[in-house]
Amino acid sequence: MVEQKKIRVAVMMGGISSERDISLSTGRQILEALDPEKYEAFGVDSALMPGSQRAIEKGAGSDIDAVAEARIALAGSNRLVPVAQIVDTGSVCRPDVVLIALHGKYGEDGTVQGFLDLLGIPYTGSGVLASALAMDKSMTKKILAADGILTPKSVDFTARFGDWDRDYIEKEVEKLGYPVMVKPSRQGSTIGMTKVNTPGGLNSAINDALAYDEQIIVEQFISGVELTVGVLGNDEPFALPVTEIVPGHEFYDYESKYAPGGSEHIIPARLSEENTARAQQIALAAFKSLGCRGIARVDIILSGGEMYVLEVNTIPGMTPTSLVPEAAKAAGISFKKLLDMLIGLALEEGK
């Protein structure tokens, strides 16, 4: 009997964004879960570029030597290699597929997707355009609005275009009505996001957001039931069960997402059958509108009978206790099976 060749999987993790630590944790847990009977798996840290001493973004750790912790975490059968080793077509580390576990800039924004396209290596998740659009909250809202999908009212400002007359900004934000959410337009995990209840807090919130991006978005704060819907598939995507999020704070912030006990996830969400179907339909519509593939998570808020899309995340958290894996488990899809599906979808798209 001929032994079936294992699929060589590179789990791309770490990177230089402010979500580096989250990515390393995600990558480690994916490597632990991948079936060794099916896959030859190893980690790739995209921060380990040849000769690179590029500073890791604010909030991501002290310096590039932080990868030493990842090497320790991955000690054993799993290796952590620099990106250069997957480029060489003759390398023993040239993968059949890349499972992207990067978060934030240079991971979710189309950068690494374009790099892998040039190398001709299939990868999990959305392509360059959908990744770039979904990472940019302002562009996401414009695309969704064009397809009739509701999002909270907002205004955006870009430093390079000289939009920074504070009196002008205050007047534009006043039209939305307080409270508002101030966010970097191209950042994930609610990093740099502030809820502003009165005009007096606007200036400080803008400065906080500017630490992460030159483009900011100020959005109407909508109070309601926070929902999220995972979507899987390429040409025939389907929605997972709806998850209701009960944050331990005023809104679903960084601490609510990642701190132990920071939030409660209720699956299935406490919705009527009609609203459950609506949330899933809206999630699918947003997924298709942006041109996503493979996997995404669509965050929605239900308020006053309306459903508003807050964000589309093309690389959602992928630990066993993350939102999409939890919803998949509720649908009878184990974490191992979910990873199998994502790899299969990537190879299917790469043919």
- Catalytic center residues: 19, 189, 258, 297, 299, 311, 313, 317
Cα–Cα separations (whole angstroms), residue 261 to 191, 220, 264: 19, 27, 7
- DSSP string spanning 165-231? -HHHHHHHHHHH-SSEEEEETT--TTTT-EEE-SGGGHHHHHHHHHTT-SEEEEEE---SEEEEEEE
Copy the structure tokens of residue 48: 């380990």
Structure-block tokens of residue 250: 């005023």
Distances (CA, A) of 288 to 182, 293, 336: 27, 8, 26
Partners of 123 in the beta sheet?
Answer: 98
Measured in whole angstroms, how far is the alpha carbon of residue 234 from the centre of its chain? 17
Paired sense of beta strands 306-313 and 294-303, if any: antiparallel
